[in-house]
Amino acid sequence: MAKVAVLMVEGYEESETMQIVDLLRRAGAECHTFRFQDDEWVRSMQGMYVRSDRRFGPEVLGYDAVIVPGGRTAAAPLIANDEVMDVLRQMDEAGKLVCGMCSGTTVLEAAGVLAGKRATGYTGYAEKLTSADFVADEVAVWDANVVTSQGPATPYPFAFKVMEALGLDPEPMRESTLYRKAGGR
């Protein structure tokens, strides 16, 4: 069973985070949320509190994938956290899946894991993701061991790309969520 770590720092984007976690768990991945504070309840961008599963630490290195969701104020504290930067670099060097959406892509950029890879991000992020081959016209991009996505409207295509990268078949999920019927690609 694939193990996925999802980072939850205060200010994370709740719709991105919770939808991704839900979809990956329903697809059969063992998915845990990781906080950076003692209190297990983490405040989101919109002020909602969601209980996290675990406190961030070296344990994340034992996972198959790490996901950095967005949130207007979430990227800066993650970029400033040397332990987060080290974990992202080590996972990348080990060929493990490193994923980010919206402002989470800037965290991957700061860690150096986007260098030379195709990636996408939020509108205007071509100027922020300078080490990547920025792809503006795809909502979710998978290149080697990196999956990126544009923003709050893209958790489904992002989660489906992560599933594919983990060897999980996203088709049943696409059908059960009426994704295709709604016009998703």
Tens-place pLDDT, residues 41-77 = 999 999 999 999 999 999 999 999 999 999 989 999 9
Residue 137 falls inside a structural domain: yes
| pLDDT at res. 60 | 97
| pLDDT at res. 176 | 83
**pTM of the complete model beyond 0.75:** yes
Of 35, 16, 26, 55, the residue nearest 153 (C-alpha): 16
* pLDDT exceeds 80 at position 165: yes
| pLDDT at res. 173 | 84
Residue 183 falls inside a structural domain: no
Report residue 179's pLDDT band, with 50, 70 and 90 as the boundaries: confident
Residue 35 falls inside a structural domain: yes
For residue 65, the cross-strand partners are 4, 97
What count of other Cβ atoms lies within 10 Å of the Cβ of residue 119? 28
Using left for φ > 0, alpha for ψ between -120 and 50, and beta otherwise, residue 47 falls in left
Rounded to whole angstroms, what are the CA distances from 70 to 149, 170, 183?
10, 22, 24
Residue 184 falls inside a structural domain: no
The CATH number for 163's domain is 3.40.50.880
Structure tokens at 166: 């983990």
Residue 182 falls inside a structural domain: no
- Sequence-ordered strand ranges (E) for 18-139: 30-35, 41-43, 49-51, 54-55, 65-68, 97-101, 118-119, 133-134
Q: Which residues form the domain of 29?
A: 3-176
| pLDDT at res. 81 | 97
pLDDT in tens, 103-160: 999 999 999 999 999 999 998 899 999 999 999 999 999 999 999 999 888 999 999 9
Residue 185 falls inside a structural domain: no
Residue 32 falls inside a structural domain: yes
Q: How many domains does the chain have?
A: 1
pLDDT in tens, 5-27: 999 999 999 988 999 999 999 99
Concerning whether 102 is annotated as a catalytic residue, the answer is yes
* Alpha carbons 171 and 118: distance in angstroms, whole number: 24
Catalytic site residue from 102, 114, 159, 173: 102
| pLDDT at res. 72 | 87
pLDDT in tens, 88-102: 999 999 999 999 999
Residue 162 falls inside a structural domain: yes
| pLDDT at res. 185 | 64
Structure tokens at 85: 């930067």
Termini Cα distance of the chain: 26
